[in-house]
Structure 1
Amino acid sequence: MPIFNIHHITRYEYDRPVKESTNEIKIYPYQSPDQETLQHDLVITGQPEVQLFQDYWGNKFGSFNVLPVHQKLVIESRLIVRTTAPSQLRINFHGTWQQLEEETAGQLLLLELATPDIVKAQDKIDTITREIQEKTHSAAAAVEYGAEYVFKHFQYIKGITTIETTVDEVLEHKAGVCQDFAHLLLAILRRLHIPCRYVSGYICPNKNGMRGEGATHAWIEAWLPQYGWAGIDPTNNVWVTNNHVKLSVGRHFSDCSPVKGTFKGPARQQLSVFVSVGYEDGHVFEDMNNVNTHQQENDQEVSDGLSVQQ
């Protein structure tokens, strides 16, 4: 059962004073039998009171305000977490499509997560799903093949997409990062009526070559008959085990954004996100992302931006 020390800093800097910053943070470990929070310290500029809630998807999140004039907002999370999931999952590949239909019948949350989104290039999604149906015999096999398809046919390239990139754009680029691959796999599996959800968190593989190490990461979970929720990471083409730390889940990234909010003021902002993962053997992996956001208009409530997924 590995233990990870995760240091996550989200920093907003403004070129002139702003005020009345209102924010929502989802940087608390998801309550799950597969992980245990040993310690979690949170430091925020101005030391505002953080009110804690649970959202529709079961995520713990905090809400806080920084009302005085300021030119910097820093949200620093120091987390020590133990993952208790096995290093290898025993996925049930015998659960039939009929069993999946029976398990989801009348379950409104599962039915919502199985409902496809509108994709302009639906013919491309349908081509992929037909191939999956021809080569698989169960929901679990379809999930595994779908992740493998994304891994093999789409290039992992940082910087080619943004947090607002659509599935249609990913299909056009045939490239992206973990957030893009998660959204694409969700579109594929929901077309097959498999309930599935977006997952935000960290990947902690400790020098084993996985893509996305050290940064905030994204993958998906699918509901498998006679098994329940199973995570799979299309960026690395692996089932999720004890190398992944889960923060939040939802239908899309917008339900899981680690940090989002608004402020008032005519400022231009710069966003940077730093994440380091420390391992029990003393190795530390660090990742820094800098994002320049657009010019803000005077006295408008505008988005503080979202932590960048890599």
Structure 2
Amino acid sequence: MAVFNIVHITKYQYNWPIKESINEIRLFPHNFENQDVLQFQLSITKNPEVAISMDYHGNRVGNFNIMEAHSEMIVETNLLVRTTHSQKIPEIDNVKVADLLTKLENDIYLLRLSHPETITKQIEIIKILEEIDYCDKSIIEIAQQCNEYVFTNFTYTKGITNIETTVDEILEHRKGVCQDFALVLLQLLRTAGIPSRYVSGYICPNESGLRGEGATHAWVEIYSPIQGWLGIDPTNNIWTMDNHVKLSVGLNFTECTPIKGTFKGLAKTTLSVSVSIGYEDGRHFEEVNDVQLQDVSVEFQKELDDAEQQQQ
């Protein structure tokens, strides 16, 4: 068991004032069997009213608007959470893909999560599955071996991918971060016929030196009819444990994006994310990352350049 105080600050800055910012957030942590949310606070620039709803996956979603002009938007959450799922290999579970067929026929949610994305390099995914000889193995064995394959054959490298990077691109350069590793693992597991979903959350630092610690993190959950949803982390080649804190789940990253939105205005946007983690014993860890955003179109970049020249 572990208790963490997590402060997550997302800061958008614009070089010229923008207005009518419309946003959607998935920053509300889950209460589930092995995770208890003890306290939660949310604060947003201009204190807009936040409308809360539930999405298809059971995530709490917040929607808010900031209509007046602003040059900065800060979204801050303060979370006190207790986790109780100590690191362990799942219990003996001999369920095979063939055993899931009846369950999938009667559960449209699981059926949707068992279909892989349509990609150009799907033959590479199939070759990987053949390499680990996945046929006739239990879903637990398949998950562990796919997890190990991604961990071993993909290099953890920051700064070469962004939120728009595709599975095809990741397979080509075989480098990336936790989000990329999770997407490849999802493609492998779903191709094998195992219902799997993307998980967004945090991995809190400890003395083990896990990759991705102290920042927003991503991993995968597989479904077992015997044990339910089981988390597995390809970035670190482990099953989830006490220092994994879950925020949201979805088909892919797009359905778990912590914050997304749009605005009116002509401005360059910069985004930084800070995650601060405090422990019961008084220890403290903080990491700040500048996020690489999607490239703007050539036409929009020209408009930005023209606007800057007019201001000189």
Whichever residue aligns with residue 291 of structure 2, its letter is: V
Instruction: Give the gaps of 5 or more residues in structure 2.
Output: 304-312
Aligned residues: 299
Question: Aligned letter for 1:76?
Answer: E
Cα RMSD, aligned residues only: 1.8
Q: CA deviation at 1:281?
A: 2.3
Asked whether the equivalents of residues 38 and 80 of structure 1 are also in contact (C-alpha less than 8 Å), the reply is yes
Q: Deviations over 1:38-83 (max 9, x none)?
A: 1111111001111111001110011111000111100011111001
Alignment gaps of 5+ in structure 1: 301-310
- CA-to-aligned-CA distance 1:168-210 (integer Å, 9 cap, x gap): 1111111110000000000001111100000000001423110
Number of the residue aligned with 1:304: none
After superposition, residues 140-179 of structure 1 pair within 5 angstroms as: 140-179=140-179
The residue number in structure 2 matching 1:201 is 201
Structure 1 distance, partners of 2:42, 2:211, is 27
Q: Which residue of 2 aligns with 1:106?
A: 106
How far is 1:269 from its partner? Answer: 1.2
* TM-score, normalization by structure 2: 0.91
Q: Secondary structure at the match of 2:291?
A: strand
CA contact (8 A) 1:91 1:140 kept: no
Amino acid at match of 1:181: F
Percent identity of equivalent pairs? 49
- C-alpha deviation, 1:292, in angstroms: 5.7
Is this contact kept in 1: 2:205–2:285, CA < 8 A?
A: no
Question: Residue 19 of structure 1 aligns to which amino acid in structure 2?
Answer: K
Secondary structure of the structure 2 residue equivalent to 1:133: coil
Q: Which runs of 4+ in 1 moved over 6 A?
A: none
Which amino acid in structure 2 is aligned with residue 91 of structure 1?
E
Q: Distance in 1 between matches of 2:176 and 2:158?
A: 7
Whether the aligned pair in 1 keeps the contact of 2:52 and 2:63 (CA below 8 Å) is: yes
- Aligned pair 1:231/2:231, yes or no? yes
Q: What SS does structure 1 have at the residue aligned with 2:186?
A: helix
Question: Partners in 2 of 1:14 and 1:82 — Cα distance?
Answer: 36
- Residue type of the partner of 2:97? W
> Secondary structure of 2:48's partner?
coil
Moved more, 141-150 or 97-106: 97-106
TM-score by length of 1: 0.92
| Contact residue 269 and residue 295 of structure 1 kept, 8 A | no
Q: Residue 306 of structure 2 aligns with which residue?
A: none
Quick check: 1:206–1:279 contact (8 Å CA) kept in 2?
Answer: no
Partner of 1:271: 271
